[in-house]
C-alpha cells in the first residue's frame, strides 16, 4: 500500500450528533431507519446532516454491519456492446433502491475473474452478479460467499447456484436451421471461441449441420480473440479463401456479422441473393445496417433486470421464485438472408 496523503477532516456521525446534543446512533437511525426516530427530531437531524455535508463512511458501515450496499458486477468486457442492454436492466432494477452498482472487467480470463471476485468479496458487497467462465476456483470461492451471487450464464450447462440465461445452443440451432430453410447449403461459422457461451453457439451450429449431412470443419473459422468488426472482416476473408463456394455464414455475434457484411460487399457478393448472413444478439446496429441484419434477439435488458431482481430478493431473504430463470430468444428475419422457401 503506497504512502499517504493528507486526510481531510471527514464529518462523522458523532460530529453531527454532538452539534445536536444527541447520540450518534440516533443520527445513524434517522438515516437508515427513519420510522424509529420521532418526526421532529428526524427533521432536525436531516437538516443538520445536509448542512454539515455528512457522507456516510461505507468502509465503516461495511465493517460494522453486513454489507456496504454495493452490488458488484463482473463482466468479461464491459465495453462489449452486448453488455449495454444488460447494464440498463441492472441499473433500472436498482434505481429507487438503496443499492448501488459497481463494475469490473475480467477480460475473459479465469485468473482475473478470480482476483476480481476476491476483490469484491473483500469489500463486503451486498451481492455479486457474475457473467463468468464458470471456472472451478471461482465457483469454490462463491460457494462460501457471505452474500448472494447470481450468474448470467448459458443454461445448457447446469448452473449450481442462482442463474439467469438463455440456451445458446438452441439459439444457434435455430439460426442455422433458418439459413438452411433459406436454401443456403455451404454455411460457414465465424466466431471468437474464448467464451463458453460462444462455444455453445458453435455446438448448436455443428449439430444442425451434421443432421443435414452438410457439416464441413473447413467452414468453421474461429479465433481466440475478443470479437470485433475487424475480426469479422479477417475471418470472413479467410473463410472465402479456404472455401470459395461458401454461400452463407452464421456469426457468433453481430459485430462479426457486420464485419462479414462489409467484407462481402468488398468481395462483390450480393447479400442476401448470393450470400446469406445471420448474426447474433440483435444489437442496435443490426436494424440500421444495409441490408438490415438477420439475427437472434436475446433479451439482454431482461437478463440484467431479472438477475438483479434475484439478487435483491436474496439479500432481503425473500424466497426466490426459482433458482434458474430461462429466458426466450427470437429469430429476427431481416434483409441479410433470403426469405425462407
Q: What is the dihedral sign for C-alpha 87, 91, 94, 100?
A: positive
3-state secondary structure of 128: strand
C-alpha to C-alpha distance for 249 and 261, rounded to whole angstroms: 10
CA-closest candidate to residue 162, choices 323, 285, 280: 323
As a whole number of angstroms, the distance between CA 58 and CA 1 comes to 20
Does position 32 interact with DNA (CB under 7 A)? The reply is: yes
- Does residue 291 have a cis bond before it (omega within 30 degrees)? yes
Can you tell me which of 245, 317, 319, 341 binds a copy of itself, judged by CB under 8 A? 317
Q: CA-CA distances (angstroms) from residue 95 to 58, 100, 126, 187?
A: 19, 8, 15, 44
What would the x/- binding string for a copy of itself be over residues 159 to 198, using CB under 8 A? ----------------------------------------
Q: How far is the CB of 1 from DNA (least distance, A)?
A: 6
Which positions from 52 through 111 interact with DNA, judged by CB under 7 A? Answer: 54, 56-57, 60-61, 63-66
Helix axes 168-181, 196-211, angle to 10 degrees: 40
Interaction partner, residue 78 (DNA, a copy of itself, none; CB < 5-8 Å by kind): a copy of itself
258 binds, among DNA, a copy of itself, none (CB under 5 to 8 A by kind): a copy of itself
Cβ closer to a copy of itself: 144 or 158?
Answer: 144
Total chain residues near DNA (CB under 7 A): 30
Torsion of Cα atoms, 105 then 85 then 194 then 229, to 10°: -110
The β-bridge partners of 101 are: 71
From 34-42, 75-83, 228-236, 270-278, span contacting DNA (CB under 7 A): 34-42
User: Which residue bears the cell 431482481?
Assistant: 309
**Residue from 38, 51, 160, 326 in contact with DNA (CB under 7 A):** 38
- The phi, psi pair for 147, rounded to 5°, reads -145, 160
Q: Out of 96, 136, 144, 213, which residue is the one contacting a copy of itself (CB under 8 A)?
A: 144
* Residue 145 binds DNA, judged by CB under 7 A: no
Instruction: Kindly state whether residue 51 participates in binding DNA, applying the rule CB under 7 A.
Output: no
23-32: burial string, b at 16+ Cβ within 10 Å, e else? eeebbbbbbe
Task: Give the pairing of strands 330-332 and 295-297.
Answer: antiparallel
Q: Which does 212 bind (CB under 5 to 8 A by kind): a copy of itself, DNA, none?
A: none
Q: Measure the CA–CA gap between 168 and 135, rounded to whole angstroms.
A: 18
> How far, in Å, CA of 203 to CA of 209, rounded?
10
Pick from 46, 87, 110, 320 the residue near a copy of itself by CB under 8 A. 87
Q: Which is nearer to a copy of itself, 123 or 134 (CB)?
A: 123
Phi, psi of 14 (to 5 degrees): -65, -40
Q: Which is nearer to a copy of itself, 185 or 224 (CB)?
A: 224
At closest approach, how far in Å is the CB of 123 from DNA?
Answer: 12
Residue 25, interface with DNA (CB under 7 A)?
A: yes
Query: From CA 191, how far away is CA 182, in angstroms rounded?
Result: 21
List the interface residues with a copy of itself, window 23-42 (CB under 8 A).
32
Nearer CB in complex with DNA: 3/244: 3
111 binds a copy of itself (CB under 8 A): no
- The 224-263 site mask, x for binding a copy of itself (CB under 8 A), equals ----xxx-xx---------------------x--xx--xx
Residue 146 interaction partner, one of a copy of itself, DNA, none, beta carbon < 5-8 Å per kind = a copy of itself
Question: Sheet harboring 220-222: ordered strands across?
Answer: 220-222, 187-191, 248-251, 276-278
Chain residues in the site for DNA (CB under 7 A): 1, 4, 10, 12-14, 22-26, 28-29, 31-32, 35-38, 41-42, 54, 56-57, 60-61, 63-66
Amino acid at each position: 500500500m503506497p504512502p499517504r496523503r493528507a486526510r481531510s477532516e471527514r464529518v462523522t456521525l458523532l460530529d453531527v450528533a454532538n452539534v445536536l446534543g444527541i447520540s450518534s446512533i440516533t443520527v445513524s437511525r434517522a438515516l437508515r431507519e427513519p420510522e424509529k426516530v420521532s418526526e421532529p427530531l428526524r427533521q432536525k437531524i436531516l437538516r443538520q446532516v445536509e448542512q454539515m455535508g455528512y457522507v456516510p463512511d461505507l468502509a465503516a458501515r461495511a465493517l460494522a454491519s453486513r454489507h456496504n450496499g454495493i452490488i458488484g458486477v463482473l463482466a468479461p468486457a464491459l465495453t462489449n456492446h452486448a453488455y449495454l442492454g444488460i447494464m440498463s436492466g441492472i441499473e433500472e432494477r436498482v434505481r429507487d433502491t438503496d443499492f448501488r452498482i459497481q463494475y469490473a472487467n475480467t477480460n475473459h480470463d479465469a485468473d482475473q475473474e478470480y482476483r476480481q471476485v476476491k476483490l469484491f468479496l473483500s469489500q463486503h458487497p451486498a451481492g455479486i452478479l457474475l457473467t463468468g467462465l464458470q471456472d472451478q476456483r471461482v465457483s469454490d470461492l462463491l460457494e462460501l460467499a457471505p452474500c448472494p451471487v447470481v450468474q448470467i450464464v448459458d443454461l445448457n450447462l447446469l448452473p449450481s447456484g442462482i442463474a439467469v440465461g438463455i440456451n445458446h445452443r438452441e439459439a444457434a440451432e435455430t439460426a442455422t436451421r433458418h439459413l438452411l430453410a433459406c436454401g443456403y447449403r455451404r454455411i460457414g461459422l465465424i466466431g471468437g471461441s474464448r467464451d463458453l457461451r460462444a462455444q455453445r453457439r458453435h455446438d448448436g451450429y455443428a449439430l444442425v449441420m451434421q443432421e443435414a449431412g452438410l457439416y464441413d470443419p473447413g467452414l468453421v473459422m474461429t479465433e481466440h480473440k475478443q470479437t470485433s468488426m475487424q475480426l469479422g472482416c479477417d475471418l470472413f476473408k479467410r473463410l472465402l479463401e479456404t472455401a470459395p463456394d461458401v454461400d452463407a455464414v452464421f456469426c457468433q455475434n453481430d459485430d462479426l456479422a457486420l464485419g462479414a457484411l462489409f467484407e462481402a460487399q468488398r468481395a462483390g457478393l450480393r447479400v442476401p441473393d448470393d450470400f446469406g448472413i445471420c448474426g447474433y444478439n440483435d444489437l442496435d446496429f443490426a436494424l440500421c445496417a444495409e441490408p438490415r441484419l438477420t439475427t437472434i434477439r436475446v433479451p439482454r435488458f431482461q437478463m440484467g433486470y431479472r438477475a438483479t431482481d434475484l439478487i435483491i430478493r436474496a439479500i432481503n431473504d425473500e424466497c426466490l421464485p426459482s433458482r434458474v430463470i430461462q429466458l426466450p430468444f427470437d429469430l429476427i428475419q431481416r434483409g441479410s438472408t433470403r426469405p425462407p422457401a
